[in-house]
Structure 1
Amino acid sequence: MTTHQYIIAWAVYLVGALGCLAVWWRMTRPFGQGFPRRFLRLIAAFAILTPAISNPGMGFLGPALLVCLFDGLSHGPEAMLRTTPVIFVSLLVATLLAALTGLFIKTPKTDSNTEQPKNTSRIRKEPAL
């Protein structure tokens, strides 16, 4: 693989990864403003975007999860041990980052005593099928 092909492959991967993260960002919206949503988003981002050395004889990096999966399928489960520490460290960093942001960033809480305006006089139109 030439350097030009390597850069194109990473560009394609990053576009796809950002698309997956955008969908995941949208899927975790119902989890509220707290730790679970932040934790799931960071875990997904770190898992998808963490690089690892794809071949020990070469200097090219690849996505750590894909390198681990490919090593396991082609060389056996023992070869997966080369990239698993990289994955676990990145997931640990994501967990610590989610916990630290939870300590320093306060989420706004809704007050149940405040009166919310209710607009019940408006007729709701159902979509026609």
Structure 2
Amino acid sequence: MTENDYFLAWGIYAFAAFGCLMVWMRLTTWIWRWLRQPLRLVMAVVLFTPTIVDPGKSMFAPAVAMTALDILFKDAGHALPAMSDLAMYSLVALVVYLVYALVRWPIERSSRARRAEQAARDEAQARADAQRRDEPDEPFGAGDRYGRTPPAPPASPSPAGRMRVEPRL
């Protein structure tokens, strides 16, 4: 196998593995999030973990394919190193995910509490607006909602006996 064939085979495998990962993500959309994300992570590790085939040439192959072929052809030469690589990478990925989840958890809890508090404030504001709309609207009442007060009556009438009326703008 030439180097170009080697890279071509890895490219085809990577494309197919990415397609399988997308199908797996679509299949796991209905699962509870705290179970769905680790399952997706484990599937990504299973699909994309390489294992060494020939130490002299430093050639790698997908660990799941090496394990499957060794079990299928009853050749245990490469199955154990491939399974140990899968186990090691899976353990590392799950520990990193666990740290990520533990950091994310309190942040999401505080965000959820903040959203609930905001919703309660919005509901109280909506109730106050509805109550204010239900009050009778008296434009020249004693307590106008815009802070206006009715004009005071004039102290003394004009000498002609009529009060002067000015239009309000």
| TM-score of Structure 1 vs Structure 2, range by shorter chain | 0.7 to 0.9
RMSD after superposition: 2.3
Aligned residue for 2:95?
96
The answer on whether the counterparts of 1:39 and 1:94 sit within 8 Å (CA) in structure 2 is no
Q: How has the CA–CA distance of structure 1 residues 78 and 54 changed in structure 2, closer, same or farther, with 3 Å as cutoff? A: closer
Give the alignment's TM-score, normalised by structure 2.
0.58
Matched, 1:2 2:2: yes
Preserved contact between residue 53 and residue 78 of structure 2 (Cα < 8 Å)? no
Q: Which has the larger radius of gyration?
A: 2
Q: Which moved more, 1:100-109 or 1:15-24?
A: 100-109
Count residues in correspondence: 112
Contact 2:53 2:60 in 1 (8 A): yes
Cα shift at 1:8: 0.5
Pairwise CA distance, 1:59: 1.5
SS of equivalent residue, structure 2 residue 98: helix
Shift of residue 53 of structure 1? 0.8
Confirm whether residue 42 of structure 1 aligns to residue 41 of structure 2: yes
Q: Using the TM superposition, give the Cα deviation of residue 88 of structure 1 relative to its aligned residue in structure 2, in angstroms.
A: 0.6
Query: Could you tell me how far 1:57 is from its partner in structure 2?
Result: 4.1
Fraction of identical pairs, as percent: 30
Q: Which residue of 2 aligns with 1:16?
A: 16
Unaligned runs of 5+ in 1: 115-129
Q: Which residue of 1 aligns with 2:51?
A: 52
Alpha-carbon separation, structure 2, partners of 1:72 and 1:84: 11
Instruction: State the partner residue of 1:117.
Output: none
The DSSP-based 3-state class of the residue aligned with 1:83 is: helix
Structure 2 gap ranges (5+): 120-169
Higher RCO, 1 vs 2 (CA within 8 Å, ≥6 residues apart): 1
Q: Identify the residue that residue 61 of structure 1 maps to in structure 2.
A: 60
The answer to whether the 8 A contact 1:53-1:59 is kept is yes
SS, match of residue 9 in structure 1: helix
1:24, 1:2 → 2: CA distance?
A: 33
Cα distance in structure 2, aligned partners of 1:17 and 1:45: 8
SS across alignment from 2:36: helix
